[in-house]
Structure 1
Amino acid sequence: MAEILPFKAVRPAKAKAGLVVSRSYQDYSKAEIAAQLESNPYSFLHIINPEYDLQEKNVGGNRFKMIKERYLQYKEDGTFIKDEEPFYYVYKIETPQDSCCGIIAAASARDYENNIIKKHEDTIAHREILFKEYLQVVGFNAEPVLLTFQDNKIIERVISETLNTATENEFTTADGEKHSLWKISNPEVAESLRSEFANIGSLYIADGHHRCASSALLAKESRAKNPEHTGKEPYNYFLSYIISEKDLKIDGFSRLISDLNSHSKEEFLFLLKKNFSIKNYEEKIFVPAEKHQFSMYLDGQYYSLQLKKTGVRASDSRSQLDAVILHENILKPILGIQDLRNDKRISYFPGTDDNVEIKRQVDSGKFAVGFAMLPPGIAEIKQIAEENLTMPPKSTYIEPKLRSGLTIYEF
């Protein structure tokens, strides 16, 4: 049973919410960050770039302390206000294309440790440790982990009824996204929500594996250091945005390889024929339409690759993933890509227009060949998690991508 609790959120003052909230830091280019910092004095980016005004480059623990100091300044001057009571929050994101709506709450680090909150991706140890140290110093979560659950009528009814009440925050960003936030202030409704989450067998991490793992690591260390630990301390939980599976949008990542591993184009195509049926579409874009089918762009031409029965397959769920099939049949044996995380010869591009980006990158000469495939579905992701397996890096690009600074969890 999952423990999902209300919490006292620190939130931007209503009039400033649209100015404060930012996309995830990694989503900005250096030029975009500079423009935001120059033009918007309220942006959350000022908190995580405290050295901007000082024109200094501070790293490590000292920089983390500066982040905390800037955050406390935002609270002191009224840019951020902390709710006096713990609440669940309903959060809706609307784009010109679609929308999603879910619950912002505190999820249990113990549930992550006990595999009630299930992962489908590996994390990198040094990134876990770095972010754990960051959390230890700054004392807050500002960007939720995205969790998902199987469609639930009771939770959906609570969300639907809450949408008919007055919003706490509502604003539209420059890219056309509308963001709306509600508090669930009725204690009986809040208790029914807590109880229903407790009845859910499992939650699944859709996005934020490193944030989740780092929060769990912090909780474990904090427990060990606290002789009066009760399990209810704020460090036992982390900020989460919990949505129904139907609201997830799952795209894939293309793979771009810088060279053909000393093979000529003709040799490379010949080697592919062992495990794939190949069709040349010349300059016509080919988009994969089914599993075990791949699009390849090479030397100005598109190809379809269909896995033959002779291709490398196995019985477990991970081995049936197209990202694994691509690696085991092409990237590793032919192109010599062993380490998908660290080999500098491979790059990844997310999103739905990956065939256009593949063509642009290969035509530029930066890469020799590019591959695209269908992303895994939610059923595949859940099955991987249930079997305690993990996907290769960059197997999924999952939306919604969440904003930083709308609700902050302090510990």
Structure 2
Amino acid sequence: MALLKPFAAIRPVPSLAGQVAALPYDVMNTEEARKLTRNNPYSFLHVDKAEIDFDDSVNPYDDCIYKKAAETLEHMRSNGIYIQDSKPCLYIYREIMYGRVQAGIVGCVSIDDYADGTIKKHEMTREDKEADRIRHVDICDANTGPIFLTYRARQNITRAMKYWMDSYSPIYDFTAEDGVRHTVWVIDDEKTIHSFQKEFENIPNLYIADGHHRAASAFHVGMMRRKKHPNYTGREEFNYFLAVLFPDEQLHIWPYNRYVHDLNGMTTAQFLEKLKKDFELSPVTGRYEPTKKHEAGMFLDGRWYSLTFKKGSFNEENPVEQLDVSILQNNLLGPILNIDDPRKSSRIDFVGGIRGLPELERLVNEGHGVAFALYPTTMDDLMNISDSNCIMPPKSTWFEPKLRSGLFIHTLTHEA
């Protein structure tokens, strides 16, 4: 059973919400973040990626970076950029991108649900990335970026959300620079809040769609606080972390494509010959984007090929090995191109599908090598693998639109 808890959000004043809201800290590098915030002192990136306000000579993991993040957040609160709701609420956060709608409930979930597997994971995390966010959450004393969770859709929840959106005015409604529309409603009626909580109690599992490192970090900070406060009651806010819960049927996973910088010393002819063992290969006219599982597009030497994965080249019964990203890794990237650990190899780049096939062409044309356009992992794949307590290969899913940071902040200091 999933625990959903209302909270008194710290959130931007409506007139500044569009300027405050920012893409997640980990989808851009420091220079890209500086460009995005050059004319926007309100951007939440000044908190979430505080190194943008320092010279490049300063280590982005220096203590002063985290202290600056906390100071900036406090400054935004004391200067009226942020307000805090007077009582615990739930919220509805709706995003519209290319006409596609996803609407989720914003609230807090329990670190105990994370620990016991009620909140399921499908990715491994890196200690260095966890350590960064642990320090950020601890020093800011807040969850500043929501965890993107999903659940198997329930029509009672979907209908109740629709009723509230149709019946009440939103507190925020703006379109970001990338064309994504963001709309937020406050659910402040205690009876309605309780009914949502009861509905989620009937949901056996939540699934992390995006934000594994943020979730792990929030959990570790909560455990650190418990250690500091051995007489904790469980009601303290540090026992919970910020999340947005979306029904699976509304979510869209984009492909996560691959670009390899070289052919591992082979000529084009030698490389193509090696592919014949596990793949059916055909040159095509124009671009090729796969339309179903176990197909891929490949761009090499100025032309596109269709790749079909042969039966027998993968275990169709294993939920991880039958993923297209696994088949490509196990039958091509590893044995043919010698990329055995894509997490550590500097010879491979991962390209979100939202950037399109032209980006793959650009990378190959400018840097040589080869690119692969993959069919996206499905929501069923994600949940089945999570249910099996298995781990997906790195960079298996790319979710769009991204949740904006800075619209909701959950402070860890007060008792629930």
- The interval holding the TM-score normalised by the smaller chain is over 0.9
| Residue segments in structure 2 that go unaligned for 5+ positions in a row | none
Aligned to 2:251: 248
Aligned to 2:142: 140
CA distance in 2, matches of 1:188, 1:346: 52
Q: Which amino acid aligns with 1:262?
A: G
Q: Which amino acid aligns with 2:79?
A: D
Distance of aligned partners of 1:50 and 1:261 in 2 relative to their CA distance in 1, 3 Å threshold: closer
Report percent identity of matched pairs.
35
- After TM superposition, the structure 1 = structure 2 runs for residues 78-97 of structure 1, keeping only pairs within 5 Å, are 78-97=80-99
Q: Which amino acid aligns with 1:154?
A: N
Aligned to 2:213: 210
CA distance in 1, matches of 2:180, 2:311: 45
- After TM superposition, the structure 1 = structure 2 runs for residues 318-329 of structure 1, keeping only pairs within 5 Å, are 318-329=320-331
1:198 paired with 2:214, answer no
**Root mean square deviation of aligned Cα:** 1.8
- After TM superposition, the structure 1 = structure 2 runs for residues 11-410 of structure 1, keeping only pairs within 5 Å, are 11-28=11-28, 30=30, 32-48=32-48, 50=50, 57=58, 59-163=61-165, 164-281=167-284, 283-313=285-315, 315-364=317-366, 366-410=367-411
The 3-state SS of whatever aligns with 2:321 is helix
The 3-state SS of whatever aligns with 1:319 is coil
Displacement after TM superposition at 1:31 (Å): 5.3
The 3-state SS of whatever aligns with 2:86 is coil
| TM-score scaled by length of structure 2 | 0.93
The 3-state SS of whatever aligns with 2:277 is coil
CA contact (8 A) 2:357 2:373 kept: yes
CA distance in 2, matches of 1:38, 1:311: 50
Distance of aligned partners of 1:53 and 1:393 in 2 relative to their CA distance in 1, 3 Å threshold: closer
Distance of aligned partners of 1:200 and 1:48 in 2 relative to their CA distance in 1, 3 Å threshold: closer
CA contact (8 A) 2:31 2:52 kept: no
Q: Which amino acid aligns with 2:224?
A: E
CA contact (8 A) 1:288 1:374 kept: yes
More moved, 270-279 vs 174-183: 174-183
CA distance in 1, matches of 2:335, 2:54: 51
CA distance in 2, matches of 1:353, 1:83: 38
Q: Which amino acid aligns with 1:389?
A: C
- 1:254-279: CA deviation from partner (whole Å, max 9, x where unpaired): 11111111122111111111111111
CA contact (8 A) 1:116 1:201 kept: yes
- 1:118-157: CA deviation from partner (whole Å, max 9, x where unpaired): 1111111221122112211111112111111111122112
Distance of aligned partners of 1:348 and 1:52 in 2 relative to their CA distance in 1, 3 Å threshold: closer
Distance of aligned partners of 1:129 and 1:174 in 2 relative to their CA distance in 1, 3 Å threshold: closer
Q: Which amino acid aligns with 1:40?
A: N
The 3-state SS of whatever aligns with 1:42 is coil
The 3-state SS of whatever aligns with 1:5 is coil
Distance of aligned partners of 1:151 and 1:96 in 2 relative to their CA distance in 1, 3 Å threshold: same
Displacement after TM superposition at 1:86 (Å): 0.3
The 3-state SS of whatever aligns with 2:213 is helix
CA distance in 1, matches of 2:75, 2:93: 26
CA contact (8 A) 2:47 2:72 kept: yes
Q: Which amino acid aligns with 2:341?
A: D
Distance of aligned partners of 1:258 and 1:182 in 2 relative to their CA distance in 1, 3 Å threshold: same
Displacement after TM superposition at 1:27 (Å): 3.7
Q: Which amino acid aligns with 2:211?
A: G
CA distance in 1, matches of 2:180, 2:292: 31
CA contact (8 A) 2:97 2:401 kept: no
Q: Which amino acid aligns with 1:303?
A: Y
Displacement after TM superposition at 1:353 (Å): 4.9
Task: Kindly tell me the number of residue pairs found equivalent between the two proteins.
Answer: 409
Displacement after TM superposition at 1:80 (Å): 0.6
More moved, 309-318 vs 290-299: 309-318
CA contact (8 A) 1:313 1:325 kept: no
Distance of aligned partners of 1:285 and 1:379 in 2 relative to their CA distance in 1, 3 Å threshold: same
Q: Which amino acid aligns with 2:376?
A: P
Distance of aligned partners of 1:97 and 1:190 in 2 relative to their CA distance in 1, 3 Å threshold: same
The 3-state SS of whatever aligns with 1:183 is strand
More moved, 286-295 vs 39-48: 39-48
CA distance in 2, matches of 1:209, 1:49: 18
| Residue segments in structure 1 that go unaligned for 5+ positions in a row | none
More moved, 76-85 vs 122-131: 122-131
Displacement after TM superposition at 1:380 (Å): 1.0
Displacement after TM superposition at 1:192 (Å): 0.7
Displacement after TM superposition at 1:170 (Å): 2.4
Distance of aligned partners of 1:309 and 1:54 in 2 relative to their CA distance in 1, 3 Å threshold: closer
| TM-score scaled by length of structure 1 | 0.94
CA distance in 2, matches of 1:253, 1:132: 27
CA contact (8 A) 1:61 1:137 kept: no
CA contact (8 A) 2:301 2:368 kept: no
